[in-house]
Amino acid sequence: MNNEHLHVMEHPLVAHKLSILRDKNTSTKDFREIVSEIGMLMTYEATRDLPLTDKEIETPICKTCVPTLDGKKFAVVPILRAGLGLVDGVLRIVPGARVGHIGLYRDETTLEPVKYFCKMPKDVSERDILIVDPMLATGGSADAAIGFMKEYGCTNIKLMVLLAAPEGIARIQKNHPNVDIYCGAVDEKLNEHGYIVPGLGDAGDRIFGTK
């Protein structure tokens, strides 16, 4: 299912960790830790195209030119609540990243996202943006979040999710064709309540132990 803008992780560590998340008997503590670990592994992939510049240094042996990150500005933007579970994994790989927050919840009847919070770094329009959320179901939340970031003037936007439904991928690719989607796995479908099947249930409730 990979294509130019869809990157599905094909790594045994990610597959194994996702299987633990899917298990309904996984504890809140383990769930939270594993979401963070997958966040870290996926960030490795999602930052593959960060630009490098050469810098001269001196090794114990001689002077040499070495590749270094060119300091391009980067921000991770979790969609609250569940996206918070991925932030720590991203920051372990890119410790200098700024963090913007978008608070959205899905209306249980319409399944449309409702915005309740938004706080971005001042210079967010100059930053490369990685929006994170464990679940891409109907795609309504991610669609809205990408729309907000575009309103802020951001032009380089990526979306990182653990599980995606084909419906959500289709919505993002239709409305935001230039946004790269990084996902741990693509599941079969949505059920009548808009949950991903087989999925892992309600990601926010499982991360925060609210059910």
Q: Catalytic site residues?
A: 106, 110, 202, 205
Q: Report the partner that residue 139 touches, choosing among ligand PRP, ligand URA, none (CB closer than 5 to 8 A by kind).
A: ligand PRP
Bond into 206 cis (ω within 30): no
Does residue number 142 form part of the binding site for ligand URA (CB under 6 A)?
Answer: no
Report how far residue 210's alpha carbon sits from residue 196's, in angstroms, rounded to the nearest whole number.
19
Tokens of 90: 């991203």
Stretch that binds ligand URA, among 13-21, 46-54, 59-67, 191-199 (CB under 6 A): 191-199
**Candidates 4-12, 26-34, 175-183, 196-204; binding stretch for ligand URA (CB under 6 A):** 196-204
User: Which range in 11-19, 27-35, 60-68, 197-205 contacts ligand URA by CB under 6 A?
Assistant: 197-205
Question: Which does residue 111 touch among ligand URA, ligand PRP, none (CB within 5 to 8 A, set by kind)?
Answer: ligand PRP
Q: Rank residues 72 and 174 by Cβ distance to ligand PRP and give the closer one.
A: 174
Tell me which of 14, 76, 129, 135 binds ligand URA, using CB under 6 A: 135
Whether the Cβ atoms of residue 160 and residue 46 lie closer than 8 Å to each other:
yes
- Site residues for ligand URA per CB under 6 A: 82, 135, 137, 194-196, 199, 202-204
